[in-house]
Structure 1
Amino acid sequence: MSNFVAKKPWAGRIGALLGIMVMALSLRTAVSVVPPLLGELRGGLGFSASTIGLLAMLPPLLFAVFGLLTPALIRRFGLEKVLVASVLLAVAGQLVRATSGHVWPFLGWSAVALAGYGIGNVVLPPLVKKYFPDRVALVTAGYVTLLSVGTAISPQFAVPVATLSSWRVSIGMWAVVSLAVLLPWGAQALRDRRDRPKIAQLRPAVGLTAPGTLPAAHAAVQKLVPWRSPVAWGLAIFLAGNSAQTYVYFTWLPPYLSGQGLDAATAGSALAYFAILGLPVSLLVPLWVPRMRNPILAISVFALLWAAGHLGLYLSPMDGTWLWVTLSGLGQGTFATALLMVNLRSRTTHGSSVLSGFSQGVGYAGAGLVPLVFGTIHDSTGSWTLSFAMLGVCLVVMMVGALMINPRRYIEDSAVVPARDAMAGPAGPAGPAGGIR
């Protein structure tokens, strides 16, 4: 598929827009549908405390592994083919795990589904960069919002659907949303194939090379080493601190509130409410933060909301429960900021894919153990004090990353392998190229 900006703002890109949005809607459903059903899964499949802890670790672990692997897959096969592969993995994993009769096959096929979604996490930002370089903020706002919608609706419907049918239907039905991703991308592929001769005629005039590549002047940026880049490390650290807090809430908010005296159904609704609060900030952040000279000011506001929510839930979990969940939920603006910064701190589609893969790979790896440690500390001490103190540490880590990504600099500025090493041809200053930014 071609890497260009159409003369009409949306003409020729509707399939890509719908594909990005439906993919975003599907990315978290397989994760957030399971916690409300753990009571049934304990009896039906034999889940224990240790296997529940392992289940909680799977999303960040798989997101980390495939976050690091996906840029190489994109480089070899292209964005769209990798996207299709991720959808097929997600669909297969969700459907087969819903038929599992024991805890270990369920965990294994959950890992397959999460591998697909881990790839999808990385693919989305560069797809936005490729098809909508002129509408990065707007499209990012749309897809981050739908990601929040998907995160919220699956736990809200999990128990009612399981009551009407079974937990297998409740868990497996979200594969349909993943499968629907292929329809708009199929339409986009047909449109691009039909337009390819026209693009070939225009390419010499606008300086484009082969479809999906950069002009020769920008070939050097095709070899990026992200661990050389302060931007890449900063975004990874920022995402690690943010995701650690989020996964603690998704794993422990319902059992924590239930242990404080809240009934199980209300505790599950609190988690769905927490998730859906990502909606307003997902819309706000991409439209507000790009206008700011110092994004760390917005990040600091969200960090204060996180801190107030943590303190409230620790000090007074039953008095003001919904206020504390509201504050923490609005703090999720840090996640929307992280996804936005992938494109604000890269100049090219390839730079975006490398930054997306590295930051999510390292970030989710850093966050992966925190939910397990959070519960282990509580079990060892019999108190939640040190567990909640650990959330404070996560906030500090997040703000360190925020300081590193605050200056307006790009991954291509510090992660490019010298031309003589990369043998990628002459290097030039990275910038606009046939609509690529």
Structure 2
Amino acid sequence: MALTPPRQQLAGRIGALLGIFLMALSLRAAVVSVPPLLGSIGPELGFNSFSTGLLAMLAPVVFAAFGLLTPRLIRWWGLEKVLITAVLLAVAGQLLRAVVGDVSSFLLLSVITLAGYGMGNVVLPPLVKKYFPDYLAIVTSGYVTMLAVGTWMAPQFSVPLSDATGDWRTSIAAWALLSAVVLVPWVIQIQRNRKHPRPDTPLVNGLAAAPPARINPWKSPVAWGLAIFLAGNSAQTYVYFTWLPPYLSEQGLDTATAGSMLALFAILGLPVSLLVPLWVPKLRNPIVAVLVFTAFWIAGHLGMYLSPAENTLLWVVFAGLGQGTFGIALLMMNLRSRSTYGSGVLAGFSQGLGYAGAAIAPLLFGIVKDATGGWSASFAMLGLCLLVMLTGAVMINGPRRIEDRKGDVETFGELERVN
């Protein structure tokens, strides 16, 4: 039976859909698969407190740097070529750091790995907008869910894989295979694009939009608002990933229980990842959803501070559900842009500055704790992070797009290069 045009178009995007989901699944593996193995990696390579702390800071710092660089690469090379480059960097970095014998080389190759994933972070939202403008909510829900699954999967299976093979290096290298699989659907999709090229001019409300001009995000309130929102959200998440186990251990919980609480926090990103993209686009004011998830964050922070050893599970559940604000941030990269290029610029700028601002939070959390001799001032920092996040939420609540505001766009005569 012949396919109708919409179904025919959808069939032609299966490769892109698989590629987006597989890329999302692999994005966090390089970050969260290593910490559980540090007990084995550290003594062999010579990690100390400083190098361990440096490793923890690499992800947000490298994500920030490549968040700002990637929109330019997208304009030069196109979305698909940037994604292929990102995957190749990630695979090479992971494979090579599995064979090194010293800390410096491991850290350098981690930078290369994270550079690939940093580019992948930025390129995913515009890929969704390019291939699935008619299914934005559903596809975003799917890929944010894959992010959550990958965040849970890598630390969950890294140690068992290492134990089964008797070598942490095999476990590290195995995650490179997951990244390599991403290449398969995208090679197929690129070949299809050459035979059936997609139009360069984006559609806005079903009408052909003007050719995309060069966008200056530094002058855009939307871009600044999303960067501020993402910084406040990510700062809280990084603090929990870094400090939740040692904090709970200090409060009297055993190491295994503290680790389980972190795993619970991570996996709770899954249900909210499914909910946010399906719910938020229906809201006239997205800040309503932000306030709901902010309430969860507040309940989690207060419970964790006031009664960490009692009802710990409940407080972790509240904080974990608060991660819905991250899903909102990813969704806004497409809801607050009109073109694939605009989405790429918004994703790169907001993630670049957002991760840069969030990178310092776990470090300050520990410094403040040591300086004050207690956790009160450190938890007060989380309150400041909430205020920062809400400030950004107010800035992106209106229906403005990054391309809309006069003065945001400079004339730049070439068409967006999407292939």
TM class, shorter-length: over 0.9
Equivalent in the alignment of 2:175: 174
Displacement of 1:209: 5.2
* CA–CA distance in structure 2, aligned partners of residues 255 and 101 of structure 1: 28
Q: Which of residues 320, 327, 350 is equivalent to 1:359?
A: 350
* CA–CA distance in structure 2, aligned partners of residues 45 and 410 of structure 1: 48
CA spacing shift, 1:49–1:133, aligned 2, 3 Å: same
Q: Which of residues 263, 278, 284 is equivalent to 2:275?
A: 284
Equivalent in the alignment of 1:424: 413
* CA–CA distance in structure 2, aligned partners of residues 286 and 398 of structure 1: 19
Displacement of 1:130: 0.3
Deviation string 1:377-428 (CA, Å, 9 cap, x unpaired) is 222222111111111110110000000000111000127666xx625289xx
- Secondary structure of 2:196's partner? helix
CA spacing shift, 1:72–1:423, aligned 2, 3 Å: closer
Name the TM-score, length of structure 1 as normaliser: 0.89
CA spacing shift, 1:320–1:302, aligned 2, 3 Å: same
Q: Percent identity?
A: 63
Equivalent in the alignment of 1:130: 130
- Secondary structure of 1:151's partner? helix
Question: Which amino acid in 1 is paired with 2:25?
Answer: L
Equivalent in the alignment of 2:22: 22
Question: Which amino acid in 2 is paired with 1:95?
Answer: L
Structure 1 position 107 matched with structure 2 position 104: no
Structure 1 gaps of 5+ residues are 200-207, 427-432
In the alignment, is the contact (CA less than 8 A) between 1:255 and 1:267 conserved in 2? yes
How many residues are aligned here?
A: 409
In the alignment, is the contact (CA less than 8 A) between 2:236 and 2:382 conserved in 1? yes
Range with greater deviation from structure 2 (356-365 or 167-176)? 167-176
In the alignment, is the contact (CA less than 8 A) between 1:152 and 1:276 conserved in 2? yes
Equivalent in the alignment of 1:58: 58
* CA–CA distance in structure 2, aligned partners of residues 9 and 260 of structure 1: 56
Structure 2 gaps of 5+ residues are none
* CA–CA distance in structure 2, aligned partners of residues 377 and 263 of structure 1: 24
* CA–CA distance in structure 2, aligned partners of residues 425 and 139 of structure 1: 29
Question: Which amino acid in 1 is paired with 2:219?
Answer: R
Q: Which of residues 314, 329, 348 is equivalent to 2:320?
A: 329
CA-based RMSD of the aligned residues comes to 2.2
Structure 1 position 380 matched with structure 2 position 371: yes
* CA–CA distance in structure 1, aligned partners of residues 48 and 412 of structure 2: 53
Displacement of 1:259: 2.5
Structure 1 position 234 matched with structure 2 position 225: yes
In the alignment, is the contact (CA less than 8 A) between 2:62 and 2:114 conserved in 1? yes
Name the TM-score, length of structure 2 as normaliser: 0.93
* CA–CA distance in structure 2, aligned partners of residues 269 and 97 of structure 1: 28
Q: Where in structure 2 are the equivalents of 1:30-429 lying within 5 Å? A: 30-164=30-164, 165-196=166-197, 208=199, 218-219=210-211, 221-414=212-405, 422-424=411-413
CA spacing shift, 1:108–1:347, aligned 2, 3 Å: same
In the alignment, is the contact (CA less than 8 A) between 1:229 and 1:414 conserved in 2? yes
Displacement of 1:6: 5.3
Deviation string 1:72-130 (CA, Å, 9 cap, x unpaired) is 00000000000000001111111111222222211111111111000000000000000
Question: Which amino acid in 1 is paired with 2:114?
Answer: L
Question: Which amino acid in 1 is paired with 2:57?
Answer: M
In the alignment, is the contact (CA less than 8 A) between 2:220 and 2:408 conserved in 1? no
- Secondary structure of 1:275's partner? helix
Question: Which amino acid in 2 is paired with 1:218?
Answer: A
In the alignment, is the contact (CA less than 8 A) between 2:63 and 2:115 conserved in 1? yes
Displacement of 1:51: 1.6
